[in-house]
Amino acid sequence: MEKLSLTSLSASSVHHTRRFRRYRPDGVIVLLCFLTIFIFLRSNASPPALHLALEPSNPGPLIPAQVWQLYTTVGPRIANTTHQNALKATRIAANLAATWFPVDGNWNYRFIGTEFGAQFVKEHFSDQPDIVNVYNSLRVPVMASDFLRYLLLAGDGGVYADSDVEMIKPLQDWVPAPYRHVTRAMIGIEKDHPAEDEPDGWSFRFVQHTLITAKAHPIMVNMVRNITDKMLQLSREKNTPVSQLELHDRDVVRITGPRGFKDVVFEHLSREMGESIGWRNVTQSTEPKLFGDTLVVPINFFAAGQQHSGSDGTSPDKRVQHYWTGTWRHWDESMA
């Protein structure tokens, strides 16, 4: 079939114009209308679909407007926990929780306990029964608390904060504006200083008391999977059910705690960038650094006041204040 061009159309139009002149006096007007419409459509045609996909109009934030705080009551009380400690922890959590009620009415807030946590895990991870079984079998409070925060964010996303964390800056301002429409996880630095007893002579770890991610972000999904696999491996090695495992501080640190979390974060950053990323890429940061979909922010954002790492707590970047009371150790559910 012959391609339609403006040249051929113009030649054809001369012929038809003559016919219109011969048979209908208004033929020229009709032809001119046709040409006008044709040229208008050509000049206003939509760009290719690929361009539309690469240039979305007014994209929204990628972090769900959901805040999670929790308490867990699994396992035995710590030996030195007293009624006074429990009451103090309960009051701290209650007072600080008030700072999290959303300034922006679009945000939802949930303060959840052990029962809701178990139900959430059952509903969101029913297709992965090993995850559900490991979570329900944990008897160490700090590990249960760690595990549940990762499960909440993997399942629904949003913002998680320990109950001894105070919100300083409104939630809608947490992710800096230039990164707001590309950030699917925002990770803070908590420790960043020389240490002779650490590998490479440097102590570095990420914040766990305050976490911000999109739903099903790989960091949270991989943390959930790693914790599950490591607990099951430990159970096999000791030939003991997860619920009866005798766990030590080093197990907490490497499985649910800062070392396990740091490894998963750096693995994700490395995949995003296609090269090895480690603490040297983010140490002593004074500005946010974007690695693919993950924004690593300086220590002042979520760990202000860590003087060992050069933060005096007065930075305008401060989003929260963490009081390090370990409310998960002493929470008295009867006073909730």
**Residue 188, strand partner residues:** 297
Is 37 or 252 the better-scoring residue by pLDDT? 252
* % of the chain at pLDDT higher than 90: 58
Rounded average pLDDT over 147-172: 95
Look at residue 146 in the predicted model and tell me its pLDDT: 95
Look at residue 193 in the predicted model and tell me its pLDDT: 93
Rounded average pLDDT over 149-165: 96
Residues 130, 228: contact at Cβ < 8 Å? yes
Per-residue pLDDT tens over the stretch 9-49: 344 444 443 433 333 444 444 444 444 434 333 333 333 32
Instruction: State the chain's mean pLDDT as an integer.
Output: 79
Per-residue pLDDT tens over the stretch 74-100: 544 444 445 455 556 566 666 787 788
Is 135 or 105 the better-scoring residue by pLDDT? 135
Is 41 or 195 the better-scoring residue by pLDDT? 195
pTM: 0.76
What residue spans of 44-156 are helical by DSSP H?
Answer: 49-54, 83-97, 114-124, 129-137, 141-155
Q: Which of 196-200, 281-285, 315-319 has the lowest mean pLDDT?
A: 196-200
Is 228 or 5 the better-scoring residue by pLDDT? 228
Alpha-carbon torsion angle 210, 216, 218, 223, nearest 10: 60
Residue 327's CB: how many other CB atoms inside 10 A?
24
Look at residue 11 in the predicted model and tell me its pLDDT: 42
Structure tokens given for 156: 């629904």
Beta strands in the chain (DSSP E): 66-70, 108-112, 158-161, 165-167, 185-194, 202-206, 210-213, 289-291, 294-297, 320-322
Look at residue 311 in the predicted model and tell me its pLDDT: 82
Rounded average pLDDT over 108-129: 94
Residues 217, 167: contact at Cβ < 8 Å? no
Q: Which of 37-41, 218-222, 242-246, 291-295 has the lowest mean pLDDT?
A: 37-41
